[in-house]
C-alpha cells in the first residue's frame, strides 16, 4: 500500500505535546469532516451519491446532529433514507417470497445440514449489519490516519529533528499505537522495523509507568492529609489516562479552573 506524505499537520500535532499526536490529528480532522458534510460541497453529485449509499455511523450522526445545522442534515439524511428504504424493500421482498422455505432452512441449519448462508434472511441480516457500521466520516478518517501514521514513520527515518521530537513525546495512545505498528509492519523493511521497535517501545513503557504514578497521586490527593501538597503532573492524570487507554481525545483542562 502506498500512502501520501503530509508533514505539516503532523508537525502541528507534535507541537501540542499531547498524550497522543494521532488523537489530536483524528480529533481535528473529524471536526473538519463534520463541517464538510454539513456544508455546501456535500451537494456535489458525486459526494451526494456516496452519502446516499453509505450514510454515517451512530457516533457521527450524533456529532452532525450536535452542530445545529438541522436543515443541512435533514436534506442529506432524507435522500440517504430514501435509498435505504429502496434497499430494505428489495431485501424484504426476497424474504417474503421465500418465507415458507425459512422454517425448513432453519431446521436444516440446526441439524447441521447446511442452509442459512446466502438465504434471504442472512442477506438481509448482513445488509443491516453493514448499514449499522458504514460511515462516510469513519472511512475518510481511516484513510487519513493511515497517511498520518505513515508520515510519522517517514519523518522518523528521514528527519533527525523529528526523531528527537518523537523521543521527547509520550508515544501514542494504545489505539493509535496499534495503528502505527500495523503501518510500520506494512511499510518498513525488517531492519527498519527492528529499529522502530527499539525506538518506540521504551517511550510507550515510560509513558504508561508515568501515567500510573500520576494517577495514583491523583487519587491520593483526595486524602485530606495531602490536600496542601503540590499536584505535580497529576492534575490532568485522569483524562490523560482515559485517552491513552481508549484513543478518545480529551481536551486539556482549563488551567484557570481549579476543579479536578
Ligand atoms: Zn491516540
Ligand atoms: Zn463514523
Task: Give the tens place of pLDDT for each residue, 147-198.
Answer: 999 999 999 999 999 999 999 999 999 999 999 999 999 999 999 999 999 9
Greatest distance between any 2 Cα atoms in the chain: 75
Cβ contact 7:155 at 8 Å: yes
Look at residue 116 in the predicted model and tell me its pLDDT.
64
Res 250 pLDDT > 90: no
What is d(CA 117, CA 121) in angstroms, rounded to the nearest whole number?
9
Query: In the prediction, which pLDDT does 257 show?
Result: 64
Q: Which residues contact 190 (CB under 8 A, 6 or more apart)?
A: none
Q: From ligand 2's centre to the CA of 55, what distance in Å?
A: 9
* Rama region for 232: left / alpha / beta (φ>0; ψ in -120 to 50; rest): left
d(CA 155, CA 150): 9
Q: Which value, to the nearest 10 degrees, does the dihedral of the CA atoms of residues 154, 159, 163, 169 take? A: -80
Cβ–Cβ under 8 Å, residues 10 and 18: no
Residues in CB range of 225: below 8 A, 6 or more apart: none
CA of residue 57 to ligand 2 center, whole Å:
4
Closest ligand to residue 140's CA? 2
Listed residue (163, 141, 140) closest to 152, CA to CA? 163
Answer whether residue 258 shows pLDDT above 60: no
Alpha-carbon distance of 154 to 148, in angstroms, equals 10
Segments making up each domain of the chain, as ranges: 21-137, 138-246
What pLDDT shows up at residue 111?
Answer: 58
Mean of the per-residue pLDDT values for the chain? 90
- Name residues with Cβ closer than 5 Å to ligand 1, which is an ion: 20, 22-23, 173, 176, 247
| Interatomic CA distance for residues 186 and 20, integer angstroms | 21
Mean pLDDT, to the nearest integer, of 204-227?
Answer: 96
CA 195 to ligand 2 centroid distance, Å: 34
Interatomic CA distance for residues 184 and 133, integer angstroms: 27
> Does the pLDDT at position 114 exceed 80?
no
**Residue 115 pLDDT greater than 50, yes or no:** no
| Window from 4-8, 26-30, 138-142, 251-255 with minimum mean pLDDT | 251-255
Residue 254 pLDDT grade (very low, low, confident, very high; cuts 50, 70, 90): confident
Q: What is the mean pLDDT of residues 60-82?
A: 93
Nearest residue to 214 via CA among 244, 236, 247: 236
pLDDT at position 124 over 60: yes
Tens digit of each residue's pLDDT (9 = 90 or more) over 31-50 = 999 999 998 777 788 888 99
Which ligand is closest to the CA of 169, given by its number? 1
The ligand minimizing its distance to the Cα of 136 is: 2
**What is the CA(228)–ligand 2 centre distance, in A?**
44
Amino acid at each position: 500500500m502506498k500512502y501520501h506524505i503530509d508533514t505539516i499537520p503532523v508537525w502541528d500535532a507534535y507541537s501540542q505535546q499531547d498524550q497522543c499526536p494521532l488523537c489530536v490529528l483524528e480529533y481535528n480532522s473529524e471536526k473538519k469532516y463534520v463541517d464538510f458534510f454539513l456544508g455546501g460541497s456535500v451537494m456535489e453529485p458525486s459526494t451526494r451519491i456516496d452519502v446516499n449509499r453509505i450514510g454515517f455511523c451512530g457516533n457521527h450522526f450524533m456529532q452532525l446532529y450536535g452542530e445545529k445545522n438541522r436543515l443541512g442534515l435533514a436534506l442529506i439524511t432524507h435522500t440517504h433514507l430514501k435509498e435505504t428504504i429502496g434497499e430494505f424493500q428489495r431485501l424484504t421482498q426476497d424474504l417474503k417470497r421465500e418465507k415458507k422455505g425459512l422454517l425448513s432452512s432453519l431446521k436444516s441449519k440446526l441439524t447441521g445440514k447446511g442452509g442459512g448462508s446466502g438465504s434471504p434472511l442472512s442477506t438481509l441480516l448482513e445488509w443491516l449489519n453493514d448499514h449499522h457500521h458504514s460511515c462516510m466520516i469513519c472511512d475518510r478518517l481511516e484513510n487519513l490516519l493511515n497517511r498520518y501514521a505513515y508520515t510519522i514513520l517517514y519523518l522518523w527515518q528521514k528527519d533527525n529533528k523529528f526523531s528527537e521530537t518523537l523521543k521527547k513525546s509520550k508515544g501514542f495512545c494504545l489505539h493509535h499505537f496499534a495503528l502505527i505498528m500495523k503501518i510500520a509492519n506494512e511499510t518498513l523493511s525488517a531492519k527498519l522495523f527492528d529499529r522502530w521497535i527499539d525506538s518506540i517501545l521504551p517511550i510507550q513503557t515510560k509513558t504508561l509507568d508515568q501515567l500510573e504514578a500520576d494517577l495514583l497521586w491523583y487519587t491520593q490527593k483526595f486524602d485530606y492529609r495531602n490536600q496542601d501538597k503540590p499536584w505535580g503532573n497529576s492534575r490532568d492524570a485522569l483524562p490523560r489516562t482515559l485517552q491513552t487507554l481508549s484513543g478518545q481525545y480529551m481536551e486539556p483542562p482549563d488551567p484557570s479552573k481549579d476543579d479536578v
